[in-house]
Amino acid sequence: MKELSVSNLLGIKYLTAEDLHLIFETADQFKEVINRPIKKVPSLRDITIANLFFENSTRTRLSFELAEKRLSADVINFSASSSSVTKGETLIDTVNNILAMKVDMVVMRHPNPGAGVFLSKHVKASIVNAGDGAHEHPTQALLDVFSIREKYGDIAGKKIVIVGDIMHSRVALSNIFTLKKLGAEVKVCGPNSLMPKHIESLGVKVEPNLIKALEWCDIANMLRVQNERMEHSYFPSTREYVQQYGINKTLLDSLSKSVTIMHPGPINRGVEITSDVADSEHSIILNQVENGVAIRMAVIYLLASKIKNYEN
């Protein structure tokens, strides 16, 4: 059996194109499994996984937990707000205490960029990054690109524009890495104040005009404005942002071609996209949610296979 070139999923930048194809091919098989009447497989009956979420999460946490249970793993959930972290316990101490209970894998979301990399150097367990600050969110990018692959076939040569708050988005960075490794063309679109310096060094182009960006692309991935990561205002008002960078059905219908709309969630309806766009035939947002379980099953299964091979 093929295996990943890494023992942890810390970020897309550490994966090869071969790793990406292997994850997608494995997810294809699990997508078939989760659409059966009996949705469970006994693949990871001897693996224990801890979900450590130091930031709020709904979809990602539920998606990981469901993926783990579909694979028959033993699952323990940890919430920072009700833990000893509030008493001053360090990240390494917290995780080592959990690992002392013989946990094989840790899925972690943390507000600090690089937390997963730091942890992987100090603990003996496989680490899956479920989002680290404004740095990376690898499984979200994998499910986004898997959804594009499902609709269009090959990723190479496809034109994708990522619209919105690029500066504070871990989803944008992971998507750029994934798409570029697979040969897609990528543009970013948003206010200059929300565009990171030197973004072009990642091999993407900046298009400040939303209409031009939509006329160019096959797929538009719409990002929400991450107010919780902002220390001050980056644009005059939400109303002005919507006028410049929001998509509504009238705008979509006025384009010279059909554009597929994606969104990593949570959606601020009426800001980045209106309800009639989110719920339209252009949208594959619910496909992304469904594919999230299959992708996370694939990642966990492939990393657990490396643990088993190492132990043997």
How would you classify residue 267: left for phi > 0, otherwise alpha for psi between -120 and 50, otherwise beta? Answer: beta
Return d(Cα 62, Cα 75) in angstroms, integer.
Answer: 12
Return d(Cα 119, Cα 79) in angstroms, integer.
Answer: 17
- If one compares 168 and 255, the residue with the highest pLDDT of the two is 255
Chain segment 110-121, per-residue pLDDT in tens: 999 999 999 999
In the prediction, which pLDDT does 57 show? 86
Closest CA to 67 of 122, 147, 128: 128
User: Has this prediction a pTM greater than 0.85?
Assistant: yes
Closest CA to 136 of 105, 154, 115: 115
Q: How many residues does the chain have?
A: 312
Chain segment 262-281, per-residue pLDDT in tens: 999 899 899 999 999 999 99
Chain segment 3-50, per-residue pLDDT in tens: 999 999 999 999 999 999 999 999 999 999 999 999 999 999 999 999
Answer yes or no: is pLDDT of 86 > 70: no
**Which value, in Å, is the radius of gyration of the alpha carbons in the chain?**
19
In the prediction, which pLDDT does 168 show? 87
In the prediction, which pLDDT does 228 show? 52
Preceding amide of 266 cis, omega within 30: yes
On whether 229 is known to bind a ligand per the annotation, the reply is: no
In the prediction, which pLDDT does 74 show? 97
On whether 269 is known to bind a ligand per the annotation, the reply is: no
On whether 224 is known to bind a ligand per the annotation, the reply is: yes
In the prediction, which pLDDT does 124 show? 87
Chain segment 233-255, per-residue pLDDT in tens: 656 588 888 999 999 999 999 99
Residue 90's pLDDT band, with cuts at 50, 70 and 90, is: confident
On whether 239 is known to bind a ligand per the annotation, the reply is: no
In the prediction, which pLDDT does 234 show? 59
On whether 113 is known to bind a ligand per the annotation, the reply is: no
In the prediction, which pLDDT does 95 show? 86
Percentage of the chain exceeding pLDDT 90: 77
Q: How high does pLDDT run on average in the chain?
A: 92
Chain segment 207-242, per-residue pLDDT in tens: 999 999 999 999 999 998 865 544 556 565 888 889
On whether 45 is known to bind a ligand per the annotation, the reply is: no
In the prediction, which pLDDT does 155 show? 97
Q: Please, which residues bridge with residue 185 across strands? A: 159
On whether 288 is known to bind a ligand per the annotation, the reply is: no
On whether 21 is known to bind a ligand per the annotation, the reply is: no
Give the 3-state secondary structure of residue 7: coil
